Structure 1
Amino acid sequence: MSILVTPQGVYKLYQFDTEKEFERCVVSQVEMIFGKRCVYLDCKRRIGKQGTKQSVPDAYLIDFSSQREPKLFIVETEIASHDLFQHIGVQILQFAHSFASAPRQVKQLLFDEISKDTKVYEACDGYAQEYGLRNVDNMLDHLVNDTFRALIIIDEATDELYKVVKNFRFPVEVIEVETYQGARGDHIYRFTPLLKDVSDVKESIEEREQRPVDIAEFDTIVVPAREDGFQETFLGENRWYAIRIHASMIAQIKYIAAYRVAPVSAITHWALVKNIEPWQDTGKFVVNFAEPAKEIGPVPLVPKSKVKALQNARYTSFDRLQKAKSLDEVF
């Protein structure tokens, strides 16, 4: 069993008995998990065409973090001890079917929920104006006619979960929320906020008072590569695996670049992406190249700069990569 040691004492990993108990904890941390530019609608109402099998999502999330367009996620909150195929696989497919068969119903449901809270309505109306949309009604039209996206919030992201998720043909994000309980019954939580590792790449640009790159503009994934893997796989096999990539980002990725770790410490090659496929049952992906990698730069790491040596995959735009003289100008 995992434990966390803090100045306030030892906290042990807490196992939930029911989905409802876990969901209450998630709702208590909504702003931390999703950020301030998201609206979480905690409502359970049936959706789907009359006369067909209807479904009841746990919640809806409208994500306004992109400067180009908002995104809607249908939320399923689950605990790993349940049958994940039935509780997640089947339910999310039903959500997708209901979403496609009754978009006007979904739109009305969202409008009703948003309208219940004046502050939520005003926030959504303000975001709609930012996107050049007339009002909330117009924004919801856009959302329900956009790509179906699902968000799974679970207490443990197991291999079994990723076996289920890899079969979906639409974006599915997974957020693992671990709960630890102290001797007094108090809780602390461990999770990675939604798309946090994507948006974090803007930090050094913001500090230089430049306009931050919008998540919607990211079309390139940069991966750290050791020399043997770089030579054998990136150059030799025209592919790279096993990479953690957000499902919502896959459709945007058109290029991949290799950051070769020390002693090279620079981005030296890039390739056009042919496709991105699930890598076994790991929740990770393999990026297959459309053609052999080409040289670039090199684009070096600057010692003692804001951007550190890459430890994990990061996102940027190909235009920014081509113009960069150092990693500070890439991210």
Structure 2
Amino acid sequence: MLWNKEEQYTEVPFEKEADLEEAVHFVKDALFGSTRIYLDDKKKIGQKGNTNNLPDGYLIDLTNKQDPKIFVVENDLASHQHLKHIAVQILEFSLSFESSKVKVKNIIKEMLQKRPVEWKKCEAFAKSNGYENVDYLLESIIHKKDSFNALLIIDELGDELETVLISRFKFPVEVTTLKRYQSESGKLLYEFEPFLNEVTEDTEKIDISDIDTIVIPAREDGFKEVFIDENCWYAIRLNSSMIPKIKYIAAYQVAPISAITHIAEVKSIEQWKDTNKYILHFAEPAQKIKSIPLGKIKGKAPQSPRYSSRDRILNAKSLDNVF
């Protein structure tokens, strides 16, 4: 329940996938932000005679100027779908995408042409980032290596499903949840975390294209026994689409030290046991650096993994300069 003195809101589960799709369309600006474009026309992709699929939509992500992306979107209700169905659907999307990239590009281009505002946004991005036009921008995104990304929007995400998505696929799969609440007077509220919100919070001072480091909070015993002695750090939640960018890991030692003190190069990132988390193995023992203490801005101490860059960390005077 959501409550205030005027009204109380109770959860109203989505009965049909069409209800969820309508809600995604309604909240898309707040859910995806100003640097992303959500296209929800349904067009079949894949080659004739092979795997064919009908994605629920596409998300063009223009946040990273050096690496724009396209996510193939699947909307699902947890109560209606078995884990296996969702996993198979996403796998089939990847196969159809890879086998019909020209078709995918043309479909997305046609969708944009029907939306003048979104077309102009892509046109402006292309012009300011060295692409000849929107057609060339889309072609560059779709035809580059490892271009497939999936986004699952679901009403409820259990640990089991998240673990399956981590363990089964080599390509990035982002997941976001969306719930609906209604008051007695009929007003609706929607509950969700903005897409890649953790990344957005860390890019106020640093361009997302410069991110190469994950900063983790560490207590004294875990820091000494794991970060220093085992040359790794485990049970970390990460955004799957950010994993290829992570080249370093930095340790923020919590109070009483309250500072970033060490950094290590990351050799590999793997699923942590049979969970929905990851383990980062170091290429060599962590190096001690000049301590980077808390600054004057409240709330900068990491409570969970945060994104930054190695250069920014090494040149920072305090955490105010890191995030």
Query: By the TM > 0.5 criterion, same fold?
Result: yes
Cα offset, 1:21, TM superposition: 1.0
Q: Partner residue of 2:100?
A: 102
Letter in 2 for 1:82: H
1:173 has 2:167 as partner: no
* Contact kept in structure 2, 1:43 and 1:113, CA below 8 Å: yes
Q: Partner residue of 1:310?
A: 302
Cα deviation, 1:49-107, whole Å, max 9, x if unaligned, reads: 11112001000000111122321000011111133434321111111001110101101
Q: Partner residue of 1:209?
A: none
Bigger shift: 221-230 or 118-127? 118-127
Cα deviation, 1:166-214, whole Å, max 9, x if unaligned, reads: 11100111111222222233221222111221121233x3xxxxxxx21
Bigger shift: 313-322 or 182-191? 182-191
Q: Partner residue of 2:187?
A: 186
* TM-score, reference length from structure 2: 0.95
Q: Which consecutive unaligned segments of at least 5 residues does structure 2 have? A: none
Specify the SS of the correspondent of 2:66.
Answer: coil
Identity of aligned residues (%): 47
Specify the SS of the correspondent of 1:109.
Answer: helix
* Contact kept in structure 2, 1:84 and 1:160, CA below 8 Å: no
Letter in 2 for 1:25: A
1:241-256 correspondence to structure 2 within 5 Å: 241-256=234-249
1:32-51 correspondence to structure 2 within 5 Å: 32-51=30-49
Cα offset, 1:154, TM superposition: 0.8
* TM-score, reference length from structure 1: 0.93
Q: Partner residue of 2:215?
A: 222
Cα offset, 1:306, TM superposition: 5.1
Letter in 2 for 1:256: I
1:140 has 2:141 as partner: no
Structure 1: how far apart are the matches of 2:258 and 2:156? 35
1:324 has 2:322 as partner: no
User: Considering only aligned residues, what root-mean-square deviation do their CA atoms show, in Å?
Assistant: 1.5
Letter in 2 for 1:284: K
1:1-331 correspondence to structure 2 within 5 Å: 3-146=1-144, 147-166=147-166, 167-203=168-204, 205=205, 213-302=206-295, 304-305=296-297, 308-331=300-323
* Contact kept in structure 2, 1:271 and 1:290, CA below 8 Å: yes
Specify the SS of the correspondent of 1:81.
Answer: coil
* Contact kept in structure 2, 1:297 and 1:325, CA below 8 Å: no
Structure 2: how far apart are the matches of 1:305 and 1:39? 33
Structure 2: how far apart are the matches of 1:33 and 1:176? 10
Q: Alpha carbons of 1:186 and 1:122: their partners in 2 closer, same or farther (altered >3 Å)?
A: same
Specify the SS of the correspondent of 1:77.
Answer: strand
Specify the SS of the correspondent of 1:259.
Answer: strand
Q: Kindly tell me the number of residue pairs found equivalent between the two proteins.
A: 320
